[in-house]
Structure 1
């Protein structure tokens, strides 16, 4: 009978001693930060788990962490309060040299995790590991356009430096955008296909509920105690997470209207909306309207769509009256009108231009100087129109305009703008084809959510610095990846080995793939 070898207790003892010494060393450089103190043990555990667990679980864990922990680059809770998740956010998003004092580590841990999962995926493929099942490929045009985004960013960096740009500041103008192709690669190796969409949706909802809980607690408990007026309760980028979760609740019921979906959707939507309400971002409401509008346009003429359309037409006169009466009213009944008015007119004193309007004019002036190729990264936008100097709170404000869309035109011109964002056009095209070819309600719901993600992302980059946000970039990356896989499975894009890979007979109706 086979007898297993005796365990090497000396090996385990040496491991424990090594981890203990590592913790002592971590405590010496951590300056009292408990996360850094236990980082060696956590890192060893994570590395061991990564070698054993399927990639899809690891990628979903990274997705949840990015969405759920405090996003420190955007000064969560206006830095008046640090939630229990703040240390994790600091560890994930701060440059490592700021935490451990090693100057060479000028990158955040999230970059290490992304590249680590990509490397692990490549290794497992090369060694034919059975830990992960085969994954659905991505359409070649989508791969090319995602790669084109990375190449265009590199070209804009070189072009800007050749024109005298500042290297140090240029790196953070494009860093998160350049991570998008890497994130797509990570999710491609990790997610099998459309069957993993429910897990993705649940992960995003979990992140949204976590942020909503932080937002609500801060608004209801902490703010009354400190007695200060706070602009936002979590951070700007969380709007995309909230909208993603709300769209899942709405579209799942739209595509399969049953009681269970309605009940769960209402509960989740209410809990998420409370956090979004307290976060008080106007863009969140604009994105919600834009996402629902995009879903409305994609949805076929079902009885529900006909009813909503007729009701909207009938209510239009009342809506015009409500808008007109509430335009100059400060009553709480007309708060939606005031929000809409602030979007149209901006927030400024009478007779003055809004700060964002002046910034937009300067970005257009910068673009006008080099309309085709832009000025490149590493340059500030010009100040043809005098504007308030906010360098005392944000020294690099001219490198990172709030309007990322116009900023991309200013820095990259028409060529750079097109090269970086052409993948979004391909995503909308492919997901539209997949939506109308899918017979699974879950997949059709996913398609509408993805359309909403693109709409809310464009709002976020136009109204805020969404292009340099890990949260926004990761939500877009997972949506792009799922779009490609859905397009292949539904037949929206040709896949010669589709029937064989999905176990279908060559003449079988493609609805069986759903």
Structure 2
């Protein structure tokens, strides 16, 4: 009989195919590869453009959204009635931001705001709970999460090869005044793939062939990642490296202190250099003080935008402006409606966006959901007993820090593929954590039935090198499913 974890059935196969297609294709509106017309963007219209626009059906959704909703609906119908504590915690944390946005929409409509504009502002926010549910389903069989990570890795290898072709052949090896090489969101994909390749290379030091293969893949992806020049992603990756020791098992953390110090020092230097000398015009969260408004000509677009958002917070500090309206223009923004019609309704900084339109409830919902995810990631990493569990915790950490920076300094809440990745690699860890706790409880029960002290021995799980071993009780506990 085949193992379902290695031979996914129809539903998980459909999820993995959608994940791969969403990462492989480009969203035309993101202007992937600048002036170069990529065939991946042309095909991407079928998945990411409105169904009404492409297929003529009266639906204001994309095919990606419809399929995502359908998959999450099937999962909820099949498993949504379970009483698992971690399912309920995930459902609560996943719905916090959409609930805050629903409250902001209600208060806005009661004030006379436009419901159609509110729909445009919040179009992709439901993708957060949708993909958290899908991620939870994949995490019920951790092998599926590992397959998702492999898909991400191989798609990013392809994206890197194509990006380097565009850079070397189409751009003649010069970026010129171009702001990015691929598009904004691709840096988040590449950061996760770099984390996967780096982890695999580090844990395959005894196998020189695999070590060289993963190291080569890391170098291949690093080049377009740097050329894509997204400072939010650089800062997110540095944040993940700083937080890595907190998610490692204690024994591994002690053994890797020296290695981590040198790696962190090198990473901080390189990423800081890129952030300082980046050509990207985005100003990372900088807001204007009242005195600086005097010299408006010295402010960049993001500073003016952030200042105007804070004026909106001051105007409506308790419930926010409510969705369905545009934020105030205390300092007029340059009119870019020719390329982005809702430039004065959907700002770049979606952290301030939530605060301005949904009030303190929006910020509280986002921060609470993020804390739940980070808590689960940390516990999975600290209690990890296998290479797979530690890999998934590491990918979850990188995914959440990338998403957090993208939400804080760009349109992270409104980018469906970013919600997809954080849903898969953070939401998927909730059942993994539940599985670990169940197995620990079972192991303690088994140990309590044995006479004498518990036998403790060193283990080398999933091919980890001896320097990465850690301690855990030797038990005969069978794996159980959440």
Q: State the TM-score bracket (shorter-chain normalisation).
A: 0.7 to 0.9
Query: In 2, Cα distance between the equivalents of 1:312 and 1:192?
Result: 33
Task: Note if 1:486 corresponds to 2:432.
Answer: yes
Are 1:269 and 2:269 counterparts? no
Counterpart position of 2:407: 461
Name the residue aligned to 1:69.
25
Task: Output one character per residue of 1:167-186: Cα deviation in whole Å (capped at 9) or x when no partner.
Answer: 22211322222121112223
Counterpart of 2:47? 92
1:321-369 residue CA offsets vs partner (Å, 9 max, x unmatched): xx9xxxxxxxxxx7664239976798xx997122211211111111122
**Which deviations, in whole Å up to 9, do the C-alpha atoms of 1:205-261 show, x marking residues without a partner?**
122223223322222222349998532232101111011111112234456654455
SS in 1 for 2:151: helix
Contact kept, 8 Å, 2:232 with 2:406, in 1: the verdict is yes
| Residue among 302, 309, 317 paired with 2:261 | 309
Q: How does 1:156-305 map to 2 (within 5 A)?
A: 156-224=104-172, 229-254=177-202, 257-259=205-207, 262-299=211-248, 300=250, 301-305=253-257
- Which is further off, 222-231 or 212-221? 222-231
Residues 403-455 of structure 1 show CA distances to partners (whole Å, capped at 9, x for unaligned) of 11111111111112212442221011112112111211221122122112111
1:55-76 Cα shifts (integer Å, max 9, x gaps) = 1111111111111101223122
Deviation at 1:197, TM superposition (A): 2.7
Could you give the per-residue CA deviations for residues 352-401 of structure 1, whole angstroms, max 9, x where no partner exists?
A: 12221121111111112222321121121111223322223212011111
Contact 1:223–1:230 (8 Å) recurs in 2: no
- Return closer, same or farther for 1:225/1:143 CA change in 2, 3 Å cut-off: closer
Greater Rg by CA = 1
Q: Name the CA distance, whole Å, in 2 between partners of 1:159 and 1:153.
A: 10
User: Partner of 2:470 in structure 1?
Assistant: none
The superposition leaves residues 146-168 of structure 1 with CA deviations (integer Å, 9 ceiling, x where unpaired) of: 23333222222222222222222
Instruction: Find the partner of 1:355 among 276, 281, 301.
Output: 301
Q: 3-state SS of the aligned residue for 2:26?
A: coil
Deviation string 1:279-306 (CA, Å, 9 cap, x unpaired) is 2322232222222222244345434323
Change (3 A) 1:185 1:510: farther
**How many residues are matched?**
432
Give the Cα–Cα distance (whole angstroms) in 2 for the partners of residues 467 and 373 of structure 1. 19
CA drift of 1:143 comes to 2.0
Relative distance call for 1:386 and 1:87 in structure 2 (3 A) is closer
Deviation (angstroms), 1:122 = 5.4
Alignment of 1:313-392 (within 5 A): 337-339=276-278, 352-392=298-338
Provide the secondary structure at the position in 2 that maps to 1:182: helix
Paired residues for 1:431-446 under 5 Å: 431-446=377-392
2:60 to 93, 96, 106: 106
2-structure distance, mates of 1:116, 1:344: 36
Q: Report whether the alignment pairs 1:406 with 2:355.
A: no
CA 1:193–1:345: 2 relative to 1, 3 Å: closer
Matching residue of 1:35: none
Separation in 1 of the partners of 2:301 and 2:76? Answer: 47
Partner of 1:4: none
Residues 262/367 of structure 1: CA separation in 2 closer, same or farther (3 Å cut)? farther
1:513/1:386 Cα in 2 relative to 1: closer, same or farther (>3 Å)?
farther
Residues 444 and 81 of structure 1: is their aligned pair in 2 closer, same or farther, counting only changes over 3 Å?
A: same
TM-score computed with the length of structure 2 as normaliser: 0.79
The worse-fitting range, judged by mean Cα deviation, of 285-294 and 303-312 is 303-312
Partner in structure 2 of residue 448 of structure 1: 394
